[in-house]
Structure 1
């Protein structure tokens, strides 16, 4: 095995339909510049590549407590452009982002979590179907803001709990207010600053304790601006989009996030340059992820809290977004998980209780059945499954 080569994002062989989507992967989203290049003024027209154009109840949940929120919470190739063309490209992107206000697709999140064989539940999640009011005054190009996230803690529950309680609050405070020259730059800067600030504040709190906290957490967050997904990820939790393929009439699993493992070439090089090492696939032989919130004892060895930020445009062929920790993906491939959820959504025998709609009942059942199945398949980790329904 070549430890100095990038590993594929999906360990299992994907069906032909998935392969086809992967060959068009450059149309799905585009990596931002490397970690060291956080200057938003450079290459701004290449921040993202758009895809072809084609609510109620919110919870912030974590093992220790339930937090109540106000009811209103509810690669085509990169284009090589000269300096003179950049402004025109940015303008095109802006128009794409703010189009079709009247066709914004409603979103609603559902969740299931299982402790599994672990002694405690170290995962956390956040479902905010609508935080538009909290982010006001908004730029004129934006009419709807939603936020969904999963956090997979390690070494304790404090980092994941802290991220679940504070990351979205920091995001709301840093969200671009009023008209801005470029929504793309502003959203990217907002996400980068939010992750940096959240990590710094947690590390301050952790280092002030006696003994110092050693907790850490992954973070996979989906910020939805109108019909555009912005995915910010640290670690090995994942975000997957279920999209219907009209050509073969099948549902495909599109990976929206990039995992960060110390065996990946770029991650390993950064760790080694910082004076660390990778042994048995782990940082210093201990930590399984190369980016995280917390993990103060590893920060000087190249573990960072700078997320990969990607963008994906929703279409009318999209069915749902799946966010889950690696406890699910240790026993399910993304394709298996998407097909499992679809089989539940197509099950007309699922009973409805109380005042819930048939759709609500099926999505809740899909979350619970998938989490249960992961435990039954032998996932020894905590399992958290968040499914965001895209109402068509």
Structure 2
């Protein structure tokens, strides 16, 4: 009872349930969520670039770093929002990897839209439950389903709004999106694309081990390839890129996307590309030390185990993400000579 009472008290402080119920179209909910985002940024609880987030009394410490590759403007972007939605035990972390001529604009737009939209949908879901005559706070609430439903609604609305955005051309451009919400000792993970979340935890023998928490949604995964081909899209590798599977239109060798899920890219949305997230959950234990969120620029050259060992090796947590990114840069030079280095970004979220 205590956990849910605390959560609802925090909800009441951040959001008017009565207004949500009466808003109908959710306008009040969206406006309230956006105000919370502005207040959090003003109070240094939101980070949108390289740096750290460490609010006094928090159980979290987040380190963020991003480095432009050799392909032009940096199309990666990140966000960390501590005390997400005025909830003292919540934090939101998101990492976005744009592609295409407008990819950096698409990535930034999704980064700005996702947290307040998710917060809005989560609050509305809770509000509807509270106003249900059969709701009983003493009964176990299905925490995961509330968050999963909120994420599915959020991603669907973002992709729909992006398609009709007046100032961003996302027809041949898009972005991946990987985000997590930590609420107390639980984590919800939502992944659209091929960025990856990896947990650094301790084995029963006391060794540091890596646990991959997400799937890299590449076009050659059986379930992804089946969906694409059923929609008349094609999946194959170019002769000069063996092993790199891409998504193509039925009759043209475009756009050649190296992932099977993304926001934007409307030129191929009718041919198997989707923006539906895979949503999963995990309980944090005393053995879990940190989570690494990183774009494929890291995972193309660094293994999961290498990544957690690099992050764990630093005594200064504020430098953890930079250390990982710098290691990936050196790995690119050794392993991928002659290939333009990708943008490389990482978030390291530590648990006290």
Give the TM-score, by structure 1 length. Answer: 0.65
Match of 1:373 in 2: 327
What CA distance in whole angstroms lies between the structure 2 residues aligned with 1:210 and 1:244?
44
SS at match of 1:261: coil
- Residue of structure 2 equivalent to 1:195: 155
Q: 1:222 to 1:264 in 2, by over 3 A?
A: same
**1:347-386 alignment runs, 5 A limit:** 362-378=316-332, 380-386=341-347
**Matching residue within 262, 271, 274 for 1:292:** 262
1:253 paired residue number = 210
Could you report, residue by residue, the CA deviation over 1:278-299 in whole angstroms, capped at 9, with x for unpaired residues?
Answer: 1211101501011011111110
1:29 counterpart residue number: none
Give the conservation status (yes or no) of the 8 Å contact 1:62–1:164: no
**Conservation of the 8 A alpha-carbon contact between 2:202 and 2:288:** yes
SS of 2:268 mapped into structure 1:
helix
Pair 271,319 (structure 1): closer, same or farther in 2 beyond 3 Å: same
Q: Select which of 155, 176, 179 maps to 1:218.
A: 176
Is 2:108 the partner of 1:108?
no
The one of 79, 88, 109 aligned to 1:162: 109
What do residues 136-172 of structure 1 show as CA deviations (whole Å, max 9, x unaligned)? xxxxxxx732210100110121111011111011001
Q: 1:186 to 1:372 in 2, by over 3 A?
A: same
Tell whether the 8 Å contact from 2:75 to 2:99 is kept in structure 1 after alignment: yes
Question: Aligned in 2, Cα 1:211/1:317: closer, same or farther, shift over 3 Å?
Answer: closer
After the TM superposition, list the runs of 4 or more consecutive aligned residues in structure 1 that deviate by more than 6 angstroms: none
Q: CA deviation at 1:57?
A: 4.6
CA contact (8 A) 2:291 2:348 kept: yes
SS of the counterpart of 1:253? strand
Helix, strand or coil: the match of 2:322? helix
- The 8 Å contact of residues 105 and 227 in structure 1, kept in 2 or not, is answered as no
TM-score (normalizing by structure 2): 0.72
1:1-392 mapped onto 2 (5 Å cutoff): 57-61=44-48, 106-133=59-86, 144-155=89-100, 156-175=103-122, 176-178=125-127, 179=130, 182-205=142-165, 208=166, 213-245=171-203, 247-280=204-237, 281-284=245-248, 286-345=256-315, 362-378=316-332, 380-391=341-352
1:10-34 deviation digits (Å, cap 9, x = unpaired): xxxxxxxxxxxxxxxxxxxxxxxxx
Deviations 1:288-336 (A, max 9, x none): 0110111111101110011111111001111111000000111100100
What secondary structure is seen at the aligned counterpart in 2 of 1:120?
coil
Contact (CA 8 Å) 1:195, 1:307: kept in 2 or not?
yes
Specify the alignment match of 1:82 in structure 2: none
Distance 1:167 1:372 in 2: 28
Query: How many residue pairs end up in the alignment?
Result: 273
SS in 2 for 1:306: coil
Deviation of 1:258 after TM superposition, in Å, equals 1.1
* Aligned-partner Cα distance in 2 for 1:188–1:252: 28
Unaligned runs of 5+ in 1: 1-55, 75-103, 136-142, 346-361
Q: Secondary structure at the match of 2:257?
A: coil
Structure 1 Cα separation of the partners of residues 296 and 172 of structure 2: 20
Shift of 1:59: 3.1
Task: Identify, as 1 or 2, the structure richer in helix.
Answer: 2
